[in-house]
Amino acid sequence: MITEYITMTEEAIDRAAIEKAGQILQAGGLVAFPTETVYGLGGDALNPESSRKIYAAKGRPSDNPLIVHICRMEDLAPIVRDIPDEALRLAEACWPGPLTMIFHKSDLVPPETTGGLDTVAVRFPSNRIAMALIAAAGGYIAAPSANRSGRPSPTLARYCREDLDGRVEMIIDGGPVGIGLESTIIDLTEGQPVILRPGYVTQERLEQILGRVETDRAIIEPDSGTAPKAPGMKYRHYAPKGSLTIVEGGREAVITYINARTRECREKGIRTGVICTDETCRCYTADSVKSAGARTSGETIASRLFRILREFDDEEIQVMFSESFGEGGLGQAIMNRLMKAAGHKIVQV
Ligand code: TXA
Ligand code: MG
C-alpha cells in the first residue's frame, strides 16, 4: 500500500483532503491523524473489518480495546447503554479534551472494536483536524495511538511515518501535538469512578468535578499482582530500544550516581543517554543529555517525554538513565509512562 501524506494546520483545515480522508475511513481504510494528546491511527469504529485492520497495522494484540472518538455530544447516546450523571458532569467540564470515559456499550459497537468487552471507551478530542475528520467519517473513529505496538506514542507525524508507512492509506500531518501524553481514562461502569490511566486531566481535577475518585491499584502499585482494568496498561509500552533506569534521590546523589554509571559504560564502549531537567542538564557527562524542561513545568516535561525516547533510539543510545519527576499534578501521568518505558527499573540513591 502507498501511504498518502497530507499537511494542514488547525487554523487552515484542508476541507478537500478531510473529505477524501473521510471517504477512506467510510470505505474501511485507515488514516493516521493528530489529536491534542498524541497522533491516532483511525478506522471506522462501527466496522469490525476496520478494527481488525487497526490491530494488524499496529501489530497489537486484538484483546486490547480501542477508544471510540466522537465530535458531537449527541453521538454519545447511540453507542452506550446509559449515560451516568457523572459522565454528563465530566463531559460538561472536560469535553472536548483529553479525557476518555468507559461506558457499557450498545449493540452498535462491534466486539472487534472493544476487544470483546461489553464496555466501550469514548473520547471527544479538542483538536480541530480530528473533529473535522470524525465528522467526515460519519461520527465514530476508533483510534489507538498511531505507533507500532511497543513503541512510544507519536507526538509528530514523522513518527507515524516511521511506524506506519505502507500500512495505512493516509497520514495527516497537523504539526506537533500539544499535550504529548495519552488521555486520562476513567471508568464509570462500576459505581465508584476509577482512573484506569493517568493523563493530562489529573485526579485532583476529576475530584473537583465528581467528589471521590480512585486510581486503579495496578497503576499505583505495579508489583501488586493485580491485573490493570485497562487491558492495554499491562503491556510494556513506550519501550525504547536501549535499557532505561529511573534514578530517585537527592539532586547531588542522583547526578553522582548517573555520572558514575555512564562513565563505566563509556569505558566499555556503550553509548549512554540521560533524561534530566533544565536545572541539572549541565551536570551530566553522558553521550546524549536531554532536558525534558524546567522541573516545575509538568506540561513541558509531558510534551517532550515520548519524543526524547524516540530521539535516543535514533541516536542508538544503549543505556539510559532518567531523573524522577515527582507525583504532584501531571507527575502521576509522567511517572506512569516513564516507569513503563523503564520496565519498572528504578534505583534509590
Ligand atoms: O489520547 C488518547 O487516548 C489516544 C488518542 C489517539 O486519542 N489514544 C490512545 O489509545 O491512547 P490506545 O489504544 O493507545 O490506548 C487505549 C487504552 C488502552 O490501554 C486500552 O486497554 C484502554 O484504553 N481501553 C480501551 N477500551 C477500554 C475498555 N472498554 N475498558 C477498559 N480499558 C479500555
Ligand atoms: Mg497506545
Query: Cis omega (within 30 of 0) on the bond before 96?
Result: yes
51 and 101 fall within a common domain: yes
Residue 230 lies in a domain: no
The protein residue with its alpha carbon nearest to ligand 1, atom 21, reads 232
The closest ligand to the CA of 184 turns out to be: 1
Q: What residues are paired with 290 via a beta bridge?
A: 275
Q: Does any ligand 1 atom lie closer than 6 A to the CB of residue 42?
A: no
Provide the CATH number for the domain around residue 271: 3.40.50.11030
Q: Does any ligand 1 atom lie closer than 6 A to the CB of residue 80?
A: no
Domain count, the chain: 2
Provide the CATH number for the domain around residue 30: 3.90.870.10
Q: Does any ligand 1 atom lie closer than 6 A to the CB of residue 94?
A: no
Residues 294, 277 contacting (CB under 8 angstroms)? yes
215 and 298 fall within a common domain: no
| Three-class SS state of 291 | strand
43 and 189 fall within a common domain: yes
According to DSSP, the β-strands at 67-69 and 4-7 are unpaired
70 and 109 fall within a common domain: yes
Residue 227 lies in a domain: no
48 and 189 fall within a common domain: yes
Q: Does any ligand 1 atom lie closer than 6 A to the CB of residue 117?
A: yes
Residue 231 lies in a domain: no
- Residue 173 backbone dihedrals phi, psi, to 5 degrees: -90, 110
Residue 108 lies in a domain: yes
179 and 50 fall within a common domain: yes
Quick one: DSSP state of residue 152?
A: P
Structural domain range at position 273: 243-348
Q: Does any ligand 1 atom lie closer than 6 A to the CB of residue 233?
A: yes
Write the pLDDT tens digit of every residue in 96-148. 999 999 999 999 999 999 999 999 999 999 999 999 999 999 999 999 999 99
From the alpha carbon of 146, which atom of ligand 1 is closest? 6
Write the pLDDT tens digit of every residue in 293-329. 999 999 999 999 999 999 999 999 999 999 999 777 8
pTM for this prediction: 0.95
13 and 97 fall within a common domain: yes
Write the pLDDT tens digit of every residue in 8-66. 999 999 999 999 999 999 999 999 999 999 999 999 999 999 999 999 999 988 788 99
Q: Best substitution site from 67, 79, 95, 164 to test ligand 1's pocket, by max atoms within 8 Å of Cβ?
A: 67
